[in-house]
Structure 1
Amino acid sequence: MNGESTVVLDPLDWAILEELQQDARLSYAELARRVALSPSAVTERVRRLEELGVITGYHAAVDPARVGLGLQAIVRLKYPGTAHQPLRRLIADRPEILQCHRVTGDECYVIRLATRDVAHLEQVVDELARLGSLTTNVVYSTLVPRRAISRPSTGE
Structure 2
Amino acid sequence: MSELVWRSMAELGRMVAKKEVSPVEVVQAHLARVTALDGKLKAFITVCDEQALAVARTAEAELMAGRAAGPLHGVPYGPKDLYNTKGVRTTGGSRILADAVPSEDSTVVARLAAAGLIVLGKLNMHEFAYGPEGLNAHYGDAMNPWDGGAHRVAGGSSS
Fold similarity call, TM over 0.5: no
Which protein shows a greater Rg? 1
TM-score after normalising by structure 2: 0.22
TM-score after normalising by structure 1: 0.23
